[in-house]
Chain A
Amino acid sequence: DGGITQSPKYLFRKEGQNVTLSCEQNLNHDAMYWYRQDPGQGLRLIYYSQIVNDFQKGDIAEGYSVSREKKESFPLTVTSAQKNPTAFYLCASSMLDRGLADTQYFGPGTRLTVL
């Protein structure tokens, strides 16, 4: 089945530790995205990548890092520099062939809790 997978589903981290969230897609989508969702809030863009080996900062990139070494994979590292990392993290992907109508499809999310 085609889709987007994220792992782990739940992640606990001690303060001062870096953690990496996995995102894989087999939809052959060009673009991939990372969003953060806080309670009662909409989604905010952390990073996005339109092509392998290239990525751009979104609205809240501070304290996060990404890589895009393969088209299928876009891991997100939450570093110790992120002041308030407890949140729900969603990965998405899309084609880039319909302009405004490019639809982003989402993975199941990873809930990160800092202890």
Chain B
Amino acid sequence: AQKITQTQPGMFVQEKEAVTLDCTYDTSDPSYGLFWYKQPSSGEMIFLIYQGSYDQQNATEGRYSLNFQKARKSANLVISASQLGDSAMYFCAMRENTGFQKLVFGTGTRLLVSP
């Protein structure tokens, strides 16, 4: 079964607008962590934000926030005031609290920011 689902293969947004990238996950473990990474065309994966399953508040890091809806098993990334440099692939990932606690990645969403 797919652990992480990113249903939007591509998203378009105009500069300075906000955009939401969707991520749903599947786990029966009550303890888990959720991550978002950005991958520009250069290829390097850049860590953006982390949310723990027991965190009471939604995580925020600058222009990035994570809209965490535990009951719906969704962890959407919200980018406020989009910039041209935000154009990239975005990956959602999850770590469960079992065994090695490996990261499992979704297939990504390509974001294109237009002027």
Binding site for B on A (CB under 8 A): 40-45, 48, 56, 58, 88, 90, 92, 99-109, 111
Contacts and interface: CB of A to CB of B under 8 A. Distances in A.
Interface stretch (B14-22, B41-49, B77-85): B41-49
A104 B101 contact: no
A42 B105 contact: yes
Given A99-B97, A103-B35, A109-B43, 20 more contacts: A42-B91, A42-B106, A42-B107, A43-B45, A44-B105, A56-B100, A88-B43, A90-B43, A90-B45, A92-B45, A100-B32, A100-B52, A100-B53, A103-B50, A104-B47, A106-B37, A106-B44, A106-B45, A108-B43, A111-B43
13 contacts: A40-B107, A41-B107, A42-B93, A42-B106, A45-B103, A56-B100, A88-B43, A99-B97, A100-B95, A100-B101, A101-B50, A106-B44, A108-B43
A58 to B, nearest CB: 7
Contacts of B37: 106
Contacts of B46: 106
B4 interface: yes
A7 to B, nearest CB: 14
Contacts of A108: 42-44
A110 to B, nearest CB: 9
Most buried by B among A41, A43, A90: A43
A107 B47 CA distance: 12
A90 B107 CA distance: 15
B10 to A, nearest CB: 11
Most buried by A among B35, B102, B103: B103
B98 to A, nearest CB: 11
B47 A103 contact: yes
A43 to B, nearest CB: 5
A22 B95 CA distance: 26
